[in-house]
Amino acid sequence: MTPSLLVHACCGECAAAVLEPLRKRTPFTLFFYNPNVHPLLEFRRRAKSLQVLADAERLDLFLDLAYDPKQFLGSVPWDRPERCQACYRLRLAETARLAAERGFEAITTTLLVSVHQDHEAVRRIGTEEAEARGLGFHYEDWRPLAAHGRQEAKRRNLYRQQYCGCIFSEQERFAPTRRHVYRGEGGGEILRTERQP
């Protein structure tokens, strides 16, 4: 019998990328658990994009909408690669816990769509967390489907994020740019000191 699969989903775009191969393989349910995503409005946009996709495709979905930045920031190191690996573990451990509780046989994650994630670390951590709960971990390299996910997100008008999710990745993404820097007319001189990290 084909095992039932709980799919940790980071966003609508990545989930849209893998719907077709997942449907061919096994019954599955999506799970939004991403306490790493900041700020709050970004978190809500990603959750909503996944909910819109699940509703349109009539997919089962568990949404964990608890938002506690202190909990996330207090549970991961602040530097790469340890930060990313701790983040993978946090999300995949909760996915495995829920899967075991609800009677699923295996887990996987849409993190495997992203070309920016450490696939070997995701695979290792996913396997460890799944096996600790008596589950399987389904690894598949879905990076070739990333462009399809972007196209589907555009076609469906789903929110498309511009950084991985945490406050550190937001800084890494936008620090080299001048995006959203205020350029309006002002009444006085702006004094600014920038400290380099």
Sequence-distant (6+) residues with CB within 8 A of 107 are 5, 6, 7, 8, 92, 95, 96, 99, 126, 129, 130, 135, 136, 137, 138
Query: How do the pLDDT tens digits run along the chain, 197 residues long?
Result: 446 999 999 999 999 999 999 999 889 999 999 999 999 999 999 999 999 999 999 999 999 999 999 988 898 888 888 989 999 999 999 999 999 999 999 999 999 999 889 999 999 999 999 999 999 999 999 999 999 999 998 999 887 887 676 677 676 777 766 665 555 554 455 555 555 55
Asked whether 142 and 135 are in contact (CB, 8 A), the reply is no
Q: What is the DSSP string of 92-156?
A: HHHHHHHHHHHT-SEEEEGGGG-TTS-HHHHHHHHHHHHHHTT-EE-----GGGHHHHHHHHHHH
| pLDDT at residue number 183 | 58
| pLDDT at residue number 1 | 43
171 burial class (0-12, 13-18, 19+ CB within 10 angstroms)?
exposed
| Closest listed residue to residue 155, CA positions, set 2, 26, 12 | 12
| pLDDT at residue number 162 | 74
In the chain, what are the domains?
Answer: 5-174 (3.40.50.620)
| pLDDT at residue number 26 | 86
Q: Which residues pair with 63 in a beta bridge?
A: 32
Instruction: Tell me how far apart the alpha carbons of residues 19 and 177 are, in angstroms, rounded to a whole number.
Output: 34
Asked whether 121 and 25 are in contact (CB, 8 A), the reply is no
Sequence-distant (6+) residues with CB within 8 A of 37 are 43, 46, 165, 166
Asked whether 8 and 107 are in contact (CB, 8 A), the reply is yes
Q: What is the DSSP string of 85-100?
A: HHHHHHHHHHHHHHHH
